[in-house]
Amino acid sequence: MDDFVMTIEDDVEINAYNKEENEENEETDNTSLKKNDINPDFSFYVGDDNFYVDEGWDFVAAKAGLKPKLTTPSKTIDEIITNKRNEVKSLLNSNLKTNGQSNSKKEEYLNSNKDRENDSNSESSSENEYEKQRKKEYFADESETINYNIAESFQTMNLSRPILKGLSQLGFIQPTPIQKQTIPIALMGRDICGGAITGSGKTAAFLVPVMERLLYRPRQTPSVRVLILTPTRELAIQCHSVATKLASFTDTTLCLCIGGLNLKKQEAELRTRPDIIIATPGRLIDHVRNSPSFTLDTIEILIIDEADRMLEDGFSAELNEIVKNCPKSRQTMLFSATMTDNVDELIRLSLNRPVRLMIDPTKATAVRLIQEFIRIRKHREEDRPSMLVALCKKTFRRKVIIFFKSKAIAHEMKIIFGLLDLKAAELHGNLSQERRMEALEAFRDGKVDFLLATNLASRGLDIKGIETVINYDMPQSYEQYIHRVGRTARAGPDRKLLKKVIKHATKSQIRRRTIDAKIIAKYREKLNKLKNQIKERYLVNLLGLGFSPN
């Protein structure tokens, strides 16, 4: 388009940003909402343009919107690893015939034996008087919000039949605690500051009231009414997928606005004035600044999900600009798993006398989570890969997410897992958007047993049936840890963080795991034998994925 000035040529990400644009019952009561339960000041803006979009994107459509590949790699890393394993297998076959060795030794080298190793309060910090006074002055009085009815089911929330059908299609039967408290208040048009841990159902908590209110919007002229911001592309795609299913029995239109998707297609989609935009801050700001036909002037509801993560990733300036571009009369809902000083500033900038909904104890881990720690001595640091492989070969064999501190380590372990016949996918910022989505789908569908990830996947991704989360390294902060809900750690430099984790958990949640020295030695020997192959594969794929060897 002649009137569109691109700041990112052909969707290429610029290193100067120093961050990645990374970006979750069919029957109803005959009773209707009472008039005094609805905020009379809340109304949708009606513009002048005549645009119409017939449907939003679903998860498959998001993949179709990916920018075209410049080059097609001849082989994937999995194909290369498989070829290498076949070469080694053939070489071993010839050597074993020559030396008269048994086939059992060959199998011991290529595959692990299938022996299974025997599986062996939240602190509430008191606030000082100053903090209490600040909150009293800013947040809505508890006496003002205490009378809100907490619904025990979706039917008692007076939701419309199309929304109940959408919830049924998603498999939602009973609302979670955050949904019970958020949905009725959001339907009244109140600003909300919600605090809940990952996996508590925040996505549906804000999508349900949004969809319900949009059923009663003026339809004469389409306009963008709802903006949902998420910190990563994956979270935005997941949110878009849930919203699409929830809106499947309505005429609500949606648009996914994230990096990695075709920029011109997004611009064309935005010109149709979809009802809901689900976006990451960086890409949205790009459209706001460079597309004359797109503004945020008609936004009626602003939702900021995982606010603390967005601020951690350096999106403070973008968030402030987005908030200032939205009308002051909007309704705003902000959700954050942790309440930091930066989040507090954003709350004061974006919310107006919000209702506080702190569903879970401060910095708590999931109630049913069992946390296990493995101590690695300073002089045994080189055994860390062997310990991880031993755990994955003998104990935690399926639906495992493993977090690494860097993309390079995650990629290296992907090669090791492939050579040891462990089905794994990697997820980090150096992969294209298409490969990230393929990795998530492969893990979700059970095609791979292990997801090797950086912090990109540490928040909000709703993958059912995850059995184990392993921290290969301790994260930099306790806030990161409670999102990773990890299984492994070491003392030494991480001792303070480890103590903090134990302090915030009950005795029944903390265990110490040990691995037999013979098993560690066995896998150390295996990795040493594979060292040259690992190095060769690592260097071959390093440049292809855009890594720096340093």
pLDDT interval class at 123 (50, 70, 90)? very low
- CA 471, CA 429: separation in Å to the nearest integer? 18
- At 230-239, the pLDDT tens digits run 998 888 998 9
Between 310 and 35, the higher pLDDT residue: 310
Q: Is the dihedral of CA 436, 437, 438, 442 positive or negative?
A: positive
Return the minimum-mean-pLDDT range out of 59-68, 383-392, 416-425, 541-550: 541-550
Q: What percent of the chain has pLDDT over 90?
A: 23
Best-predicted range by mean pLDDT (290-294, 298-302, 514-518): 298-302
Q: Give me the count of residues in the chain.
A: 550
What pLDDT was estimated at residue 128? 56
> 226 φ, ψ to 5°?
-130, 135
Q: What is the DSSP string of 2-15?
A: TT---SSGGGPPPG
Q: How buried is 44 (Cβ within 10 angstroms: 0-12 exposed, 13-18 middle, 19+ buried)?
A: middle
Which residue, 176, 180, 167, 173, is CA-closest to 197?
A: 176
Stated pTM of the model: 0.57
CA 249-253-256 angle, to 5 degrees, is: 120
254-257, strands of its sheet edge to edge: 254-257, 276-279, 226-229, 301-304, 331-335, 192-195, 355-358
Measured from the Cβ of residue 249, the count of other Cβ atoms closer than 10 Å reads 17
What pLDDT was estimated at residue 190? 92
pLDDT interval class at 509 (50, 70, 90)? low
Task: Check pLDDT > 80 for residue 52.
Answer: no
- CA 537, CA 42: separation in Å to the nearest integer? 59
Task: Check pLDDT > 90 for residue 4.
Answer: no
- CA 488, CA 88: separation in Å to the nearest integer? 32
What pLDDT was estimated at residue 441? 86
Q: Is the dihedral of CA 406, 109, 443, 374 positive or negative?
A: negative
Return the minimum-mean-pLDDT range out of 196-200, 343-347, 363-367, 539-543: 363-367
What pLDDT was estimated at residue 197? 66
What pLDDT was estimated at residue 71? 47
Q: What percent of the chain has pLDDT over 70?
A: 61
- At 456-480, the pLDDT tens digits run 655 556 666 677 888 888 766 655 5
CA 484-479-376 angle, to 5 degrees, is: 60
pLDDT interval class at 448 (50, 70, 90)? very high
Supply the Cα-derived Rg of the chain in whole angstroms. 25
Q: Enter the tokens of residue 493.
A: 């430099």
- CA 353, CA 281: separation in Å to the nearest integer? 24
Instruction: Tell me what the pLDDT averaged over the chain comes to.
Output: 73
- CA 42, CA 373: separation in Å to the nearest integer? 51
> Across residues 92-121, what is the average pLDDT?
48
CA 370-171-481 angle, to 5 degrees, is: 30
- At 206-220, the pLDDT tens digits run 999 999 999 999 988
